Amino acid sequence: MKSALALVLARIEAQEIIEEQLSRGGFTRDNLSLGKAALEAYFSETLMMPYGHFSNAFDRRQYDVEALARQFKTSFEQCAKRLTSLRKPGQERIPFSLVKIDKAGKIVATVNPGVFRLPRQDGTCALWNIHDVIHSPGNVLTQWLELDSQLQLLSIASAITSGGGAFGAPRYTHAIALLCDSKYARKTVYGADRFQDHELTPVGLCCRQCQRYACAVRA
């Protein structure tokens, strides 16, 4: 309800600003509606989770997404997405990326992919915990990933459901994962206690591009 009201306010109060940003963005006719929807969603998220209050709360709670979603009365996904946008000059927080997949392993959304830029047409590495958590909604799984010898990442994954609400109404399950460079992990509740002693899971971007030819799950 809160997020729906925030989205209505975005469409009423922020349309002039949104239209101005869209005109600067050089959007084509095909993706203009997607750009508008993304900006409206971003406005609603900032309304529910104001930058200063939200980022300070993350510092106090060590980036505990579940606890902060409860505090700000938002969903896990909304809170995770807001985390990826805390890049205000002089007030930057951990640079997170976000990946969202469906039950088939297809990537349906990415935010700030950065160095973990995944090829959408090939799915994701089968060793990644984002595939495990989709079968247990409500849980949060962490995993240390080694993409190559130069890049180690902390993955924070959780499954989310939508739809339902009535008998026979279909429900949909997706999994999302927040990713950050392991050098930032000690600042989070997920990596603080295990920063010095953790097991790395060697992963690749996808089987077609992966250089780990001896991998037992290689397709």
The structural domains of the chain, with segments of one domain joined by +, span 2-83, 97-202
pLDDT grade, residue 140 (50/70/90)?
A: very high
Cβ proximity of 112 and 95 under 8 Å: yes
Flag whether pLDDT at 122 surpasses 70: no
Query: What percent of the chain is modeled with pLDDT above 70?
Result: 91
Q: Mean pLDDT, to the nearest integer, of 135-152?
A: 85
Any idea which residue has 């205000």 for tokens?
88
DSSP secondary structure code for residue 91 in this structure:
S
> What's the mean per-residue pLDDT of the chain?
84
Per the structure block, which two tokens stand in for 126?
Answer: 């089968």
pLDDT-derived band of residue 9, with 50, 70 and 90 as boundaries?
Answer: confident
- CATH code 1.10.8 for 97-202: no
Indicate the burial class of 117 (C-beta count within 10 angstroms; 0-12, 13-18, 19 or more). exposed
Average pLDDT over residues 111-119: 68
